[in-house]
Amino acid sequence: MNGHQTSTGTRLRFKRLCGLAIAAFACAGAFWYGVHTDEAYPLTQSLTVDQKYLNFGTVWEQAEFAWVLPIQNQGESEIEIVRFASSCPCVTRIEPASFMIPPRNTASVRVTMNLVGGTEKKGQEGDSREFTIRIVPDVRNAERSHRGWAITGKTREATRLSSRQITFWDDIVRGQTAPTRGVDLSSVVSLKRLSIKYDPTLLKVETIQIPPNTEQEKCRAFRVNITPTAVMPSGPFSEDFTIEPVCESGEKLPAWSVKVIGTMVEAIQAFPTILEFGVVPLGEIRKAIIFLRSKAGNEFDVEKTETTTDSVSIEHQTTGPSELAFEIAQKAVALGSQCAEIRFSVRDHEMRTFSVTVKANYYGTAQKYAAPRKMLGN
């Protein structure tokens, strides 16, 4: 009996000691955390931003909204911010990205945000919505990360655009009438006009006022038509223009940037544009016909031809009012994959001179392949 009581008492004392040890560790941990929270992280704790700079109020939606954030260093040591992170890709720029803040001093950063919502809009035009992002500074030699600052506000949709991109899906043939595409802009307030910035040498712009529903209403919508000009460079193109709505009061609303994409082709084109001669034994010659045609049916001349290699020869075959044919002879002079360019210098009916290029490819081999034998039936 005595032995059992002794064993029970030992276990109780052991449990009490374990409890005291755990409590001691907890107290020590709390003390360490308190000390380090107050003293060990002076760099991150010294960076502050006044609350009044963390809310930009209610503004119009816009793709380039800049907000200045004064960051204070309340400590006694110089602080270096090496970079910033943000909680949203809508933060397009933070400038400057890195800088030093002397003790008891302030440095300002310019945070540029895209406040424009997605294509899915909620509510009626003019409704406001909450906007919140967080930026976090990366402080050099800091022992823990700074929590950063949340910038909040409300955005209100001033205008709506039917599309931010105009696409000309079909090739635009130089010399033919170019098609016209457009976008529609509507506003929650009355508009006086649209201020449009574009390159007049590449784009023709026409602004049309969309009549209001009633005579009492003022203009709140426009259509902007875009037509590429004949001097647009050949090949795929991508041009931007901006639309800035101006209210009846003269106030300028946030501008929209619109991209125009398409492909401009010359009226004189080669068919085919690439010659594939396949596998050619060294010394042998392969031939093909290239046609140059005017898509508009106009007459043209080929002033000269040239190639990037002497192994290609060109012979004029036929002549028509709007089509020329040329025989191309390719001699295999090198092993492996080979590529050459054939250039035709063309002068069209408007006396413009430009180049039409065709590629010729072959694979040179030292082995001659015999023709397969004809199988005879029984």
Per-residue model confidence (pLDDT) at position 144: 82
Domains 43-157 and 160-265 share a fold: yes
d(CA 217, CA 195): 22
| Residue 150 amino acid letter | A
For 43-157, CATH gives 2.60.40.10
CA 7, 13, 14, 16 torsion: positive or negative?
Answer: positive
Per-residue model confidence (pLDDT) at position 370: 55
Q: Hey, is 28 helix, strand or coil?
A: helix
Tokens 């068919």 sit at which residue?
271
Per-residue model confidence (pLDDT) at position 377: 46
Going by C-alpha positions, the residue among 170, 174, 201 that lies closest to residue 353 is 174
Per-residue model confidence (pLDDT) at position 275: 95
**Fold classification of 268-365 (topology level):** Immunoglobulin-like (2.60.40)
Q: Torsions phi, psi of 370, nearest 5?
A: -75, 150
Report domain extents, the chain. Answer: 43-157, 160-265, 268-365
Per-residue model confidence (pLDDT) at position 44: 72
CATH value of 160-265 in 2.60.40.3450, 3.20.20.150, 1.10.10.10, 3.30.390.50 = 2.60.40.3450
DSSP state of 10: H
Per-residue model confidence (pLDDT) at position 13: 60
Per-residue model confidence (pLDDT) at position 234: 84
Residues of the chain with pLDDT under 50: 1-6, 27-40, 118-123, 375-378
Q: Which residues, other chains included, contact 319 with Cβ-Cβ below 8 Å and sequence gap of 6+?
A: none
Whether the Cβ atoms of residue 240 and residue 260 lie closer than 8 Å to each other: yes
**Tens-place pLDDT, residues 131-182:** 999 999 999 988 788 899 999 999 988 899 999 999 998 889 887 889 999 9
